[in-house]
Amino acid sequence: GVQFPTPIPPPATLPLPHLIALLDEIVCGEVAWYSGLPLVQTLFRLDWMHDIDKVEDSRTHAVLLATSKAAAAVRTLVLRGDVGDEEDFSPACHGLNLHDIVPDTDILRQLTSAEEETQAELRTAKAAGAGGGGDPSVQAALLEAVLCRLRLRRAHLAIVCSLSKPGPKHCESCKKMLTFGPPPPR
């Protein structure tokens, strides 16, 4: 038979440029899945999605887990709405672990912790950059980029999980998550 190369194990810590690229690639995979491609060709083409528990880096682990859980929530919404066929959506999971039994509150807590860790690193980098060094400002910019992506991932997960729960309380939660800034002027 065909032999495939051994997957590259995740490093203990992912360099920031690589983490940013990974987070962007995950968003691209989600959009491709929403457009009708199967999970195995989109989100789960990344080997680490198949064994999230082996990922040691807290930010990477939280994002991969949140991505998997969000896919489970979106899949549930589409199946409940019975619109998968009309919308070219591929709901089949082919035995993939979508971590749908992990409580969304646990994953949101992990994402919040990853954000806090990143914010602490950002404060340190900005303090070092105030001394006039150029490298800390690059580090700060990379950390800000990671922080934005972590916040987006947390908001996305909270919204899709809230949409899959009954009751007006969860709709209000969605509205709150969609409000990122002040209301537009009238």
Flag whether 64 is in a domain: yes
Number of domains in the chain: 1
d(CA 162, CA 181) in angstroms, rounded, equals 20
Q: Please choose, from the candidates 25, 42, 24, the residue with its C-alpha nearest in 3D space to the C-alpha of residue 33.
A: 42
- Position 15 scores a pLDDT of 94
Flag whether 114 is in a domain: yes
Domain residues for 63? Answer: 16-166
Flag whether 182 is in a domain: no
Is 113 exposed, middle or buried (CB count within 10 Å of its CB: 0-12, 13-18, 19+)?
Answer: middle
Flag whether 5 is in a domain: no
Flag whether 9 is in a domain: no
Flag whether 155 is in a domain: yes
Flag whether 56 is in a domain: yes
Flag whether 186 is in a domain: no
pTM: 0.84
Q: Specify the 3-state DSSP secondary structure of 11.
A: coil
Mark the ranges of the chain whose per-residue pLDDT is less than 70.
83-89, 130-134, 174, 177-178, 180-186
